[in-house]
Structure 1
């Protein structure tokens, strides 16, 4: 009789633990679906982006680079702040380029490194939101 009661209690505990696990799994998968559906539309991205006008400057190896950038922020307020900080943005870009050579900017990895450096330097300045991505929209080295 005691073995029967013990078996019943163990079975109830096992079923309870299984049900709790299933509920947690369902909740987590639903939260992941909701967070992935919150990706901004292209219109929202454009609204939260700032164009950096063409910059021409010397590189460390005395070559010239001419480029334009588009900087994507996480909100319209952040884009407005970044627009006001255009002189600081230009300064950061020129300073970073003056330390680089033509070889540093060659290839995909060189451009990705440059973009990530600009992103982190700008995020140090930002008070409203943050820079999410820096895009090179035109690029010429002479």
Structure 2
């Protein structure tokens, strides 16, 4: 009789142990999947942004009203491959910037709206050139008008 009770107790303990283990595994899998989905849909980290960005060296050029502007840009793309393509297109980037600035006056570039307009125009024209990826954002990192 003792042997029979021991077998039942052992069987019940094994069932409880297997159940707890299965619940633990299910919770682990659900948490892992939730974290992966959150990471996939989240914003890129600053390291990912920097990896997918290029710096445009400081440029000085004339504006349409005979004043001049000195500026420096950082261009953020959607991938490292797109940033590599933009690095190869550096001469085209500079050409676009010079052409756009030569059509603008000091007054056109005044205030926040003038800078947003310039950033938007450069972004649009660069995206027309891109074969791999897209330009996400154009940042003005240095800016002087005289």
TM-score band by shorter chain is 0.7 to 0.9
Indicate which of 127, 131, 146 corresponds to 1:127: 131
Structure 1 consecutive aligned stretches of length 4 or more whose deviation exceeds 3 Å: 33-37
1:60 is aligned to 2:64: yes
Q: What RMSD in Å do the two structures reach over aligned CA positions?
A: 1.5
| Cα separation, 2, equivalents of 1:59 and 1:35 | 44
2-structure distance, mates of 1:98, 1:122: 17
2:140 to 128, 136, 139: 136
Name 2:16's counterpart in structure 1: none
Unaligned regions of 5+ residues in structure 1, if any? 1-29
Tell me, yes or no, if structure 1 residue 42 matches structure 2 residue 21: no
- Name stretches of at least 5 consecutive residues in structure 2 with no aligned partner: 1-33
Pick from 55, 75, 79 the counterpart of residue 71 of structure 1. 75
TM-score scaled by structure 2?
Answer: 0.73
- Structure 1 position 80 matched with structure 2 position 84: yes
SS of equivalent residue, structure 2 residue 108? helix
CA deviation map 1:49-80 (0-9, x unaligned): 00000110000000010000000000000000
TM-superposition CA deviations, 1:21-62 (whole Å, max 9, x none): xxxxxxxxx9xx848842100000000000000110000000
Alignment partner, residue 101 of structure 2: 97
1: distance between equivalents of 2:67 and 2:103?
Answer: 12
d(CA) in 2 for partners of 1:116, 1:97:
13
Higher Cα radius of gyration: 2
Match of 1:25 in 2: none
Q: Please, what TM-score do these two structures have when normalized by structure 1?
A: 0.75
